[in-house]
Amino acid sequence: MSAPAPARPVPPLGMVTGVPIEVDRISRSFGSVRALHEVSLTVAPGEIVALLGPSGSGKSTLLRICAGLDEPTTGDLRFDGTSQLGLPPHRRDVSMVFQHFALYPHKSALDNLTLALRYGRGLSKPAAVARAQETLAMLGIADLADRRPTQMSGGQRQRVAIGRALATRARVILLDEPMSGLDAQLRVELRVEIVGLLRSLGTTALFVTHDQAEAMAVGDRVAVLGEGRLQQIGTPDEIYDRPATRFVASFVGSPPMNVWDGQWHDGRLHADGFAVPAPAGATAFGVRPEHLTLHVGTADVGTADVGTAGVGVPGQPGRLGGTGGSAELRLSGEVVVSERLGAERTVHVRTGAGVLAVRVDAALVLAPGVPVLLRAPTSALTYFTPDGDRLGHP
């Protein structure tokens, strides 16, 4: 059986020109369930965008639509300005890396790549073998050429699966949680390799993951999906430092932002555990764990209007202090648990506003039950509307 004619010539290593991707108000429904709700985003040529979200957020559905394995209910998908709706996968110039490798178990690593090039790209057998060998060498796994998947480790199998996608030199590469089955150390190693290879090839890539550390490391930009909606798209720094919605704030970060609900009146947001200045319309506010400072026991924190009675007493309300035009949030409570994470610790503190997380230096060792005072400047607070949208500072 002869190989089919390729959709386009296969360029040599390092000569791929990625194409722009336009997702235009795409929705996808499965009966009464809406998996995607008018999602719109644009990916620049050669850009890597990580699609981040919890299970059921719609990220894999969007990837399948881009691959041609599914069709949207409404909306359009364009590669390089041309609609892809109705085009089968092999006419879209895309390659896909699956979560579970999807290698032919009875074929060697070299044969798995060669078949993709012969019947996916229409190369002759000698050209396909040469390209496959070149790709395996590029990935540092030339020694696996004659091994079958059952003779490889999970990391080796996934490298071969990635190599099969890269070998085609497609202008769009789609990766569907390609490292979810690997151990933590191998995931870090492999994601560094993947990013380096994608950048060296110049292909446009969409990388689906539910692991935020992975998304932040891989993506030039990160698109956060939740409940089928695009919550925010931006650089990793924008997503973390300026979350557009409460969903993003509560999902991104390890641990994520501490968020409290309250009632707004007289220019402040009030609840049992706190009262802070807030813009009109705010019904919640949040603060990142690293923006809180922790003081142990009843130590003097340099602000007389706090009062020693409210310092280090579990369940005391948070209050505002400071002099002149400055103000800060203060919450007293007690340590619930302290987790060692490398050079830092995450301390979980029970306060009148609930349990919250604060990030401290690992040298600070705190036992459960120790009374503490937490402080944060109001400039570090983020405010949200009833719909979960971010508000500006008062």
The pLDDT value recorded for residue 129 is 95
The pairs formed by 10-16 with CB atoms below 8 angstroms and a separation of 24 or more are 10/117, 10/121, 10/123, 10/131, 10/168, 10/169, 11/169, 12/169, 13/134, 13/138, 13/169, 13/201, 14/200, 14/201, 14/202, 15/169, 15/202, 16/169, 16/170, 16/171, 16/201, 16/202, 16/203
The pLDDT value recorded for residue 305 is 32
Q: Which residue has the tokens 């007493």?
A: 313
The pLDDT value recorded for residue 309 is 25
Q: Could you give all domains of the chain from N- to C-terminal order, each with its CATH number?
A: 21-247 (3.40.50.300), 254-391 (2.40.50.140)
Mean pLDDT of 116-133: 90
The pLDDT value recorded for residue 115 is 92
In tens, the pLDDT along 308-323 reads: 222 222 333 333 333 2
Across the chain, what does the average pLDDT equal? 85
In tens, the pLDDT along 21-69 reads: 999 999 999 999 999 999 999 999 999 999 999 999 999 999 999 999 9
In tens, the pLDDT along 342-374 reads: 899 999 999 988 899 999 999 999 999 999 999
Name the pLDDT band for 138 (thresholds 50, 70, 90): confident
The segment with the largest mean pLDDT, out of 59-68, 136-145, 147-156, is 59-68
